[in-house]
Structures are given as C-alpha cells and as structure tokens.
Chain A
C-alpha cells in the first residue's frame, strides 16, 4: 500500500469521526439551551465552542455568541476548518484520491454525504432544524462505518480504524475535560442539579446515555460517569476502549513490523495503566491532569504514526 494512500485513509476516518463529534456537540448545546440556566443564555453555546476547539476562530468572526451563528459556524462555515461541512469535504476529497483502496460502497457513502451537505448548505436552515442536522450527520457517519465492514481486512482497513480511534480518543478526552473546566467553572455547583444535568448531557454527546443506565445501577454520580467514560472498556467511546483499539489495529498491521513495535512500545504503559487503574485514584490524582496527560500521549502516537508510515 502506498504511504500516501495509508495517510489518506487514516485521515478520512478522522474527519468522519470529527464530523460526528461536532454534530453531537451542537446537539448538546441545543439541549442545554432548552433548560433554565443560572449562568445566562449564552453560556452553553460558549462551552460548545470551547469543546469543539473553535472558540478563537468564532470570536475572530463574530462579536456575540448566539445559537444561530454558532450552529452555522460549527456546521456549515467554510472558514472553520473543523466544521461538519469541512470535515465531510476533506473526507470526500481524500476519498476521491484513495477510492481505489476501499469499496465502492464506502466511496458512495462519503460522496452521497457530500452531495447532500452541498444541498443542505444552500438551503437556509432554521435553528429548530438542528436536531435533524445532527441526526442526519450521525446517520451518514454510520453509513460510512457500516460500509467499512465489506473491506478487505488488510493494512488499509487498519489505518482507517487507527484514524478513527485516534480521533475518538482525542475527542472523548477533550469532552471530558471541557465538562470540568468549561461547563462547570464555579465550584459551588459541583454535585448540584446543574452538575448532574451537565454530566448527562455529556453522556448524550458521547452517544452513551442509555448505555450508561444499563451499565451502572443506582444513582447517576460523577464518579460513575467518569469511570464509564475513562475506564469502562465496554463503552465504545471510553478512553480505555479507544486505546485498546489503537493497540489492536496497530499490532494488526502487517507492514513494517519494526515500526509497529516502536510505536507499540510508547503506548504499552498507558494501555496497561488504563486497564488496571481505579477511578478513585484518578479522581485523587486529578481528572484534569489525567486527561491532559492522555491527550498528550494520543497526540504523540498520532505524530509517530504519521512520521513512521506516511513520510
């Protein structure tokens, strides 16, 4: 497989994953805007922007933070490199180059999504359309993921999934972090109603709300949610699940065993640690500190993959 092909495949699934995360974030903002909020109307949209890592870009463009503008910025704006539109556009442009490396179904899934978002973009949408846009995005991304099941289980397949889980690990970690540092800036709210409401919104944004209920008995507590999203390897968005899958698809690669081993060695400790760790000790250590370390680690794995395989 061409190095460039591997690189493009890796990025296609990163972009598709990112499109889903951003759409889900918008949904979080939308939900939060329907609840009374003591911090004022704009707060949830600002945290959504922060979670999407788009706050600087947004503020360069707009003076005030309001729903319609945030929606537009995160969903359609061509100036925002991570807007759903740009993610789909980039995924599609990459797919155009490597369509020979996956099935016609995968190409169709991406290209149809692109054709449709062009149409959506040209229609003026109302703020109340947002749930439909989110639902549409999730459907499209699922269509793409589903199409991957018909792929040959070769290195291309593993690079696609490496991209997916590197992106998801990063997104999940950032969302967790945002919960503490943006959604809940004032200590007096911790453990209060707002706190729990925001935790459950976080679960929704990670498509894990119902799953959490099934996985844990009793009350919803922040420790349980943190356990679910960090350590529970049954949860397909937890940091633990992501890291396990990165290891799996990395070690499944048949090309360049020495490069695989090299990257694996840098990951080994984190993988072991996250499988054995207890949530209490993470909370004692500081969830923010833990998540920050995790994000750094993922980012160095990402640059190792790019350096070793794509250059």
Chain B
C-alpha cells in the first residue's frame, strides 16, 4: 500500500480513508461477523491438530488492490506460463523435443515419481493436461512480480477467493460503491465451461456430464469441493459412486447408472485407479484409466500433470516459454539453485545462512529452511540433508516480499503477502479477475501457508 515510508499508493486512497474512519469497536464487530459467517457456511479446513478438527483461516479486513494495468501484465504472464506448461506436458508424453534439444536433462523428467509412464503416447482432449493452474506470485520492493511456484495438479484456494469477496461485499457495501472492483463471481461458470470444453472424443453430447471427484469429508479442501460442485451444479462424487462398464464410466444414481464424460478430480494420481497405480488403494475406480485412454472419459487434470510443477522442473519454465511459444517470459522466476548441479550445490552450502532451501517434493511450507531466520543447528541439519540427497532440494534467495497493510490487534501493520491467481485452460485461456492473497500474520514471518499461521485477504482488481 505504501510507496515509501509515508506515501500511500494512489489506488489505496479510498481504503485509507475508510480505515481512518473505522473505530476499534467496529473493527472488532466486523471481525466477529466475518468469523461467524465463515463458521456458518462451513469454510473451514482440517488440520492434523487433535484439539481443533476444524479451523478457520484468519481473514483480514483490508483488501489487497491491483490496478487494471498491474493486473493486465500479470494476466498475460500467467496465461503465457500456463500455455507453456501444457505444451511441456504434451511434449514429454509424446516426442520429447525439449529433451532432444538438450534444454532439460531427461533424467530430471523420466526418473520422477510424478512422471506417469502410462500416459506416454496418449494426448488428452485439446492437448490440455492441466486445465486449472494456480501460479503463486510474489512482489518484491521493486514492483516486480516473480513466480514462486506453479500448481498444475489440483490447486486449491479458489473458494476462499470467492467467499472472501462475498463477505466483504456483505459487510462493507459502501466500499464497493466507491471503488470499481471487477467481479469474480463468474469463476464457477467459467470453470464449468472449461471442463465442458474438454469432453472426451467419444462424447457426442453438446452438454457433457461433468462431476467433481473428492476423496471425501476428511480431506482438508472438502469445503472447496462441495462449494465448487454446488456453484457449478454438478455432482460431487466419491470413487465408490463411480464404476466402469464396457467403454464408459458411470455414476450410481437412484435412476440407475448415468454416464460421466468429464471428471474434475481432486484426488491424487495414485488413488485414481487401483488397477493402474496403487493396487493397495481402497479408494479409486478400477478400470478408469482404460476408459480414459480410449476416449470414453476425460480426467482433469490429466494423470502425470504433476511433473510440470515439480520444483526441479520449475527452474526450466522460462526456457520452456522460449522453446514452445517463441516468446520472452513476462514473469520471471525467482533465482533458484538446483542442488543436483555441482556448482550450485557448492554455492548453496557456502551460503546456507542467507538462503531458503525447499524440498523438491515438499509443500505446505513444511520441510523448508529459511536461512536468515534459522538457528545454527537447523542450518547444520540441512547441510547434512543436502550433502546426502542434493537432488531432493532447491535453494532460493530470501525474497523481500511486499508488505500489505493488515489489521493486527486493531492497528494497521505491514505483513508479507503472496498471490495465487487461477488460470483456466479449455477452449479459451483465461485468468480469474482476482486471486487468493495469503498473508503471513506473524510479525516478521515469511510463511503464508494456512497450516502455519497464514491468513487471507480479499483481492481486488480495479476496473479500467
């Protein structure tokens, strides 16, 4: 919000006035109202903690604002990246041109668990492997955006984007009268259109039957699953509701079997089909992969799409953009050292106390080292881990993440934020007009993950 110590960026003026008028009493009331609302609608997430099975993500009342021109650049950059990632997947599951061109070493791809051998030689409808991509972005002080990571499997958080806006409009209608905020509530419709545009070859209906496949109520994103299927008006199914017969996939209904054309799956690859992936899995639909490969059903995202968001592959995304699209990357990567390269490893080991080290397969802000914030002993622990398994880690500089004004005990304080907009790839490529802003609620913290004290904010894109 602030340009320098005291100067407020123009597009935050309205918000600043609004904030100055709010008393501590009103803030407390509105915070309580938001919490009650979130509990009532059930937008909770499950944690490993025994004490509270259902928790609410802290919601900050101050929105994060993007100007139209700021957003336009992000939009182009994210869509460019999403196209390149899909092109990459199509390539490595077919000809492998990028490997032949010596841009990405083949062992980095074929030895990965997330590379799905059974997908080799198969191309899904419209050659789209990952129809919903969440790109995590951060801004540094220089007003530049960097991509922190890509999420090509089943990125979550979009229900927060939508519900955060709902509660803001409900609590502060005046703000929306004064500011021209681009609506986001058409996202579920666009998502459904995207899924319908990805019907399999053998589907001859103009309105393909889509379902959302959830692992069930114990999954941490279960609220989102039910929210999205409700908003789209499609069935939310568990794998026991589905079965394969002949060339097609069916769901069990009170009317008997009903054919399913597109499965928006929110379960991991290994639980899709016990015949193909994990024979010990009790969830999964036996035979679905056969039906999929023969064009009887589409699975979104495609099995094996996860290789594209592998942290070791991330390093090569700018190269991918040049290779597949012949364009210069609009959004830069964060500088990254892959510890499997000798030179990089030496540098990382020498500078551990200045770097952030992440597990290649890790997520949720777990299993990472933030050098400048860590004790000597944990740095030494990571030194040992890195030396024994360099391929398992990457390192990045500690970015000076931008601050966003956040209400902490009724005072406005700066807290670090990131941003996850959602890109849809179907008949059209499009970006949500907003995204999920996550905020590190603890003072000085760099970790925005909800599992570790992160909160969320409404994210505004101002209309032109």
B41 A108 Cβ-Cβ under 8 A: yes
A255 B253 Cβ-Cβ under 8 A: yes
B40 A111 Cβ-Cβ under 8 A: yes
Residue total for A at the interface (Cβ-Cβ under 8 A): 23
Write the chain B residue with the least CB distance to A3. B252
* Min C-beta distance of A264 to chain B, whole Å: 16
Give residues of chain B (87-103) contacting chain A, Cβ–Cβ below 8 Å. Answer: none
Say yes or no for B5: interface residue by CB 8 A criterion. Answer: no
Write the chain B residue with the least CB distance to A253. B254
B217 A115 Cβ-Cβ under 8 A: no
A2 B41 Cβ-Cβ under 8 A: no
* Given A111-B41, A111-B42, residue A309 in contact with residue B254 (CB < 8 A): yes
Question: Per-residue 0/1 for A20-39: is the Cβ within 8 Å of any B Cβ (1 yes, 0 no)?
Answer: 00000000000000000000
Give residues of chain A (86-107) contacting chain B, Cβ–Cβ below 8 Å. Answer: 93, 96-97, 99-100, 104, 107
Say yes or no for B251: interface residue by CB 8 A criterion. Answer: yes
Q: Which residues of B contact A108 (CB under 8 A)?
A: 40-41
Say yes or no for A268: interface residue by CB 8 A criterion. Answer: no
Say yes or no for A1: interface residue by CB 8 A criterion. Answer: yes
Cross-chain contact of B42 among A3, A96, A155, A253 (Cβ < 8 A): A96
* Given A2-B237, A100-B230, A100-B236, residue A256 in contact with residue B254 (CB < 8 A): yes
Residue total for B at the interface (Cβ-Cβ under 8 A): 22
* Given A2-B235, A2-B241, A4-B238, residue A97 in contact with residue B254 (CB < 8 A): no
Say yes or no for B151: interface residue by CB 8 A criterion. Answer: no
Give residues of chain A (4-22) contacting chain B, Cβ–Cβ below 8 Å. Answer: 4-6
Interface of B is mostly: mixed
Cross-chain contact of A115 among B40, B238, B241, B253 (Cβ < 8 A): B40
Write the chain A residue with the least CB distance to B230. A100
* Min C-beta distance of B50 to chain A, whole Å: 16
Q: Which residues of A contact B240 (CB under 8 A)?
A: 4
Tell me the bound Cα distance from A112 to B40 in angstroms. Answer: 6
Q: Which residues of B contact A112 (CB under 8 A)?
A: 40
Cross-chain contact of A96 among B226, B241, B252 (Cβ < 8 A): B226
- Which residues of A does B touch, CB under 8 Å? 1-6, 93, 96-97, 99-100, 104, 107-108, 111-112, 115, 155, 159, 253, 255-256, 309
Task: List 4 extra interface pairs beyond A97-B216, A104-B41, CB under 8 A.
Answer: A2-B252, A115-B39, A159-B254, A255-B254
The 14 sampled A-B contact pairs (Cβ below 8 Å) are: A2-B235, A2-B237, A2-B251, A2-B252, A99-B230, A100-B236, A104-B41, A107-B41, A108-B40, A111-B39, A111-B42, A115-B39, A115-B40, A255-B253
